[in-house]
Amino acid sequence: MKTAICDLLGVDLPLLAFSHCRDVVAEVSLAGGFGVLGGSMFTPEQLEAELAWIDAHVGGRPYGVDIIVPERVSAMQPGAHADASDLLAAVPEEHRAYVDEILAAHGVPPAGRSADAWSVPSPDDLLDVAFSHPIKLIANALGVPPAVMLERGHAAGVPVAALVGAREHAIRQVEAGVDIIVAQGTEAGGHCGEVTTMVLIPEVVAAVAPVPVLAAGGIVTGAQMAASIALGAAGVWTGSVWLTTPEAETAPYTREKLLRATSRDTVRSKGRTGKPSRQLRSPWTDAWAQPDAPQPLPMPFQTLISEPALRHVDALAAAGDAGAQELATYWVGQGVGLMNEVKSTRDVVYEMASDYADAAARVAATID
Amino acid sequence: MKTAICDLLGVDLPLLAFSHCRDVVAEVSLAGGFGVLGGSMFTPEQLEAELAWIDAHVGGRPYGVDIIVPERVSAMQPGAHADASDLLAAVPEEHRAYVDEILAAHGVPPAGRSADAWSVPSPDDLLDVAFSHPIKLIANALGVPPAVMLERGHAAGVPVAALVGAREHAIRQVEAGVDIIVAQGTEAGGHCGEVTTMVLIPEVVAAVAPVPVLAAGGIVTGAQMAASIALGAAGVWTGSVWLTTPEAETAPYTREKLLRATSRDTVRSKGRTGKPSRQLRSPWTDAWAQPDAPQPLPMPFQTLISEPALRHVDALAAAGDAGAQELATYWVGQGVGLMNEVKSTRDVVYEMASDYADAAARVAATID
């Protein structure tokens, strides 16, 4: 199958795969799709190591990098290059105490409050690393990319993509010079808006044509890929579907929970990053939805308290701690209801391609 | 175009159109689709008049009737045949006062409290009327149809359809004997669940095959029809798209608001019927979302206070009252963002058919 995006990205399948795990990125690209490494959780040194590994394993196939550069940086944030301990000092005691309280209610000891537990690398440093590798796409996951990302991408002949959850945002992105719009419906795991994929894709396609649009949000099957093409998308951007592969970064107990979860077991919550993002529902997300809960902090401060706590929870859950197992959660979309068995990354790609062909033939048969 | 549902319903296009307006029902059926009259707002005498009119105008083309029979009737409800004044007597004074307060805040006088303003007909009486006409489909819009609906439908050779918002509900419907599942995503106008159309359709199709599934929720274009077929649906069930046609029941000022609305201007709220239903956002829906608002009453009691108030608002809005114009709202899905001009019902059908063909060809071209 071929769409406009295939030539632009040099791939056989218009299937982009976002993952924090280098193995998933390389395997998807090797199978004919396009892997995109989520780089925002890495230090520049870590990102360098991951991309070097990908270069050594991807056999020259194309891949990309995604980082999160929020368009509006909170006034609480001392500066783009602040180190984690400066930022952590700005977190109110009420929020630290509430995190400890959530854990304690499930018999989980506090996660510790070391600034080393989480870092907030400068986007500029991550871009330096990314552009020193043969990336074929650079994406910004939140808001209009900074001018430096657009300039460096265009100078290097690397298309710049941006994720949007609303038609109006897509128009602003294209005006800013973005080359590929990833229109992400509310059913998506991670940061998302309120409009669903079925409505958002045709809206965005009509608004930004001929700029290519990738459909995102809930897409875990080839039939959904075909539906996305029918809606006018040039391809799909996926994330959740890779989380239950053996190659993914998913914590072991969380993977089990994802396999059991239905499409009704996710929730859009500010409790993890400070902005609405869709996650597996757990007592952690419930706690931040309580009327008496502190208001989640603006990005990146909520992350500074949630990530160390949830990584601590993941470790205890893997060791069999019942309270931690209840609390365990991760970003995932409503498509989790269609993810019910472990399959290798390559098998997921091949099944999606095959399922796509069946669905496309089903549609073609109605107009014979 | 032909799908499995076309033969079952005797239509050329797998496009079902729900409307409270007989003109829309007849026009859709005459144009090759399948009109379904929403009958729950009528008394049996009114429904008889509407169906007689359709019979006289539909030229023998097939059409159906949809009524709402909630699966669990509230314990507050005195009995299925209670008249409106008995029911109205059970509405707490707090709720009546809150409605008056919302209106007063926008300079709108109270709507009056006459039991005549709204009726709650017995579903049995509506079924008697429906089955005395040559209907080709009977649908229940909420929960498993009562045994009498299934028995009468099957005895008459009339397929029975039911709307669902979750995979689990679809399985229960099929077990109860329902012939056609309408799987309605959270983007739908009216009563809806939390799972989006893009995820719900493949889930439900996989769960109930070979029972035909109609996709609903956000569908207002032919490209979305093609996407639905790609997802495995046998056709689509639409509602919102007809609201901006000249033939629809929509109050004049509300129609203007719908044409201006974006996909982000709807909200899922219990404030109109007591169950979550998607509506155009307005100060009315905002008022029921306030932390200090009374809890919406269980069905049908919330309807007894909301409908008279909102019909009063519609009348004042049409007469130019600014406060009423702000308050005006109606059930509509996120697809409202794609509904930006008035088109006749027939033109909507023909455009959807043409757009479908384009989208199907787009998908077919990728597998040539």
Q: How many CB pairs under 8 A join A and B?
A: 168
Nearest residue of chain B to residue A226 (CA atoms) = B230
Q: Tell me which of B199, B240, B368 to substitute to probe the interface with A (most A C-beta atoms closer than 10 Å).
A: B199
Q: Tell me: pLDDT of A286 over 60.
A: yes
Contact assessment for residue A159 and residue A8, using Cβ atoms and an 8 Å cutoff: yes
| Residue given tokens 């108030």 in the structure block | B309
**Interchain proximity B335–A199, CB inside 8 Å:** yes
pLDDT at B82: 54
Question: Shortest Cα distance from A170 to chain B (angstroms)?
Answer: 14
Please list every residue in chain A whose beta carbon sits closer than 8 Å to the beta carbon of residue B338.
199, 202-203, 206
Whether A142 is in a domain gets the answer yes
Residue A78 has pLDDT above 50, yes or no: no
In chain B, which residues have their Cβ closer than 8 Å to the Cβ of A7? none
Lowest mean pLDDT, pick from A138-147, A328-337, B127-136: A138-147
Give the pLDDT confidence of A181-228 residue by residue, as tens digits: 999 999 999 999 999 999 999 999 999 999 999 999 999 999 999 999
Residue B285 and residue B156 share a domain: no
By C-alpha distance, the chain B residue nearest A187 is: B196
Q: How far is B192 from chain A (nearest CA, A)?
A: 13
CB B255, CB B164: distance < 8 Å = no
Q: Are residues A141 and A39 in the same domain?
A: yes
Q: State the pLDDT at residue A84.
A: 65
Task: Name the residue with higher pLDDT: B129 or B123.
Answer: B129
The pLDDT of B19-43, averaged and rounded, is 96
* Residues B227 and B269 both lie in one domain: no
In order of A171, A220, A245, A296, B187, the CA distances from A266 in angstroms are: 29, 15, 19, 18, 16
Mind listing the pLDDT tens digit for each residue in B258-276? 999 999 999 999 999 999 9
What is the pLDDT, as a whole number, of residue A249? Answer: 84
pLDDT in tens, A341-362: 999 999 999 999 999 999 999 9
Contact A263 B195 (CB under 8 A): yes
Residues A212 and A316 placed together within one structural domain of the fold: no
Which one of B1, B195, B362 has the shortest CB-CB distance to A334? B195
Check whether residue B102 and residue B141 sit in a common domain.
no
Answer positive or negative: Cα dihedral of A116, A117, A122, A127.
positive
| Tokens representing residue B77 in the block | 């409800």
Band of residue A75 on the pLDDT scale cut at 50, 70, 90: very low
Average pLDDT in the A232-258 region?
96
What confidence tens digit (pLDDT) does each residue in B151-172 have? 999 999 999 999 999 999 999 9
Highest mean pLDDT among A70-84, A116-130, A163-177, B111-125: A163-177
Tell me the chain A residues in contact with residue B206 when contact means C-beta distances shorter than 8 Å: 338
Nearest residue in B to A367, CA atom: B1
Residue B231 is nearest to which of A187, A227, A361, comparing CB atoms?
A227
The 10 Å Cβ neighbour count of residue A314 is 21
Residue B258 lies in a domain: yes
Report, as an integer, the average pLDDT of B70-81.
Answer: 49
Task: Tell me: do A319 and A235 sit in the same domain.
Answer: no
Token match 């996407």: residue? B227
**Per-residue pLDDT, B88:** 80
Q: How many domains does chain B have?
A: 2
B103-B107-B113 Cα angle (round to 5) = 40
A34 forms beta bridges with A16
In a domain, residue B38? The reply is yes
Of B144, B164, B274, which Cα lies nearest the Cα of A264? B164
Which residues form the domain of A112?
Answer: 84-118+251-327
- pLDDT tens per residue, range B316-328: 999 999 999 999 9
State whether A263 and B167 contact (CB < 8 Å). yes
Report the pLDDT value the prediction gives residue A209, as an integer from 0 to 100: 97
B199 → closest Cβ in A230, A231, A335: A335
Q: How many CB atoms lie within 10 A of CB A256?
A: 17
A49 and A168 together in one domain: yes
* A194 neighbourhood in chain B, CB within 8 Å: 264
What share of chain A in percent tops pLDDT 70? Answer: 93
- Per-residue pLDDT tens over the stretch A105-150: 999 999 876 655 455 677 889 999 999 999 999 999 888 999 999 9
pLDDT at B145 over 50: yes
Query: Alpha-carbon distance B55 to B62, whole Å?
Result: 10
pLDDT tier at B361, thresholds 50, 70, 90: very high
Q: List CB contacts (< 8 A) between B186 and chain A.
A: 196
Q: Chain B residues with CB inside 8 Å of A360's CB?
A: 230, 363-364, 366-367
CB contact under 8 A, B367 and A1: yes
Query: Is residue B306 predicted with pLDDT exceeding 90?
Result: yes
CB of B303 within 8 A of CB of B274?
Answer: yes
Q: For residue A115, what pLDDT is reported? A: 54
What's residue A117's pLDDT?
Answer: 47
* Cβ proximity of A268 and A186 under 8 Å: yes
DSSP secondary structure letter of residue A117: G
Q: B185: which chain A residues are within 8 Å (Cβ-Cβ)?
A: 196, 198
Q: What is the mean pLDDT of chain B?
A: 93
Contact A229 B291 (CB under 8 A): no
Residue B103 has pLDDT above 60, yes or no: yes
Which residue from A198, A202, A362 is facing B198, i.e. has the nearest CB?
A198
pLDDT per position as a tens digit, A258-269: 999 999 999 999
Residues 6 or more apart whose Cβ sits within 8 Å of residue A151: none
Least confident of B32-36, B176-180, B192-196, B249-253: B249-253
Q: What angle do CA A30, A33, A39 make, to 5 degrees?
A: 85
Whether B230 sits inside 8 A of A166 (CB atoms) is no
CA angle at residue B71 from B65 to B73, to 5 degrees?
110
Please spell the DSSP secondary structure of A268-307, one letter per residue. Answer: EESTTTSS-EEEE--HHHHHHTSTTSPPPPPTTHHHHHHH
Task: Check B263 against A338: CB less than 8 A apart.
Answer: no
**Whether A197 and B202 lie within 8 Å, measured CB to CB:** no
Region B187-215: mean pLDDT is 97
Interface contact B231-A219, CB threshold 8 A: no
- In terms of DSSP bridges, do strands B34-38 and B15-19 run parallel, antiparallel, or are they unpaired? parallel
Residues 6+ apart with CB under 8 A from B166: A263, A264, B193, B195, B200
Q: Report CB contact under 8 Å: A364, B359.
A: no
Do A145 and A261 fall into the same domain?
no
Same domain, A128 and A264: no
Distance CA A182, CA A200 (A): 11
Question: Cβ of B258: how many Cβ atoms within 10 Å?
Answer: 24
Would B299 be classed as within a structural domain?
A: yes
ipTM summary value: 0.95
A264 closest CB neighbour out of B166, B229, B231 = B166
User: What pLDDT is recorded for position B86?
Assistant: 74
A 10 A CB-CB count for A74 gives 14
Contact B337 A195 (CB under 8 A): yes
Kindly state whether residues B35 and B97 are assigned to the same domain.
no
B243 secondary structure, DSSP code:
G
Domain presence at residue B20: yes
- Res A2: pLDDT: 81
- B297, B221: one domain: no
pLDDT, mean over chain A: 93
Q: Are strands B34-38 and B235-238 parallel, antiparallel or unpaired?
A: unpaired
- B199 and A335 Cβ atoms separated by less than 8 Å: yes
Q: Do A231 and B219 touch (CB under 8 A)?
A: no
| B226 closest CB neighbour out of A3, A263, A363 | A363
Contact A187 B203 (CB under 8 A): no
Residue A238, H or E segment:
strand A235-238
Cβ-defined contact of B196 to A198 (cutoff 8 Å)? yes
At A177, which CATH number?
3.20.20.70
Comparing CB atoms, the residue among B166, B223, B228 nearest residue A232 is: B223
Q: Is residue B348 part of a domain?
A: yes
Q: Identify all chain B residues contacting A187, using CB atoms and an 8 Å cutoff.
A: 195-196, 198-199
According to the per-residue pLDDT averaged within each range, which of A320-334, B135-149, B291-305 is highest?
A320-334
- Residue B55 and residue B68 in one domain: yes
The answer to whether residue B79 sits within a structural domain is no
Residue A335 lies in a domain: no
% pLDDT > 70, chain B:
93
pLDDT of residue B141: 86
- Judged by CB atoms closer than 8 Å, whether chains meet at A218 and B229 is answered as no
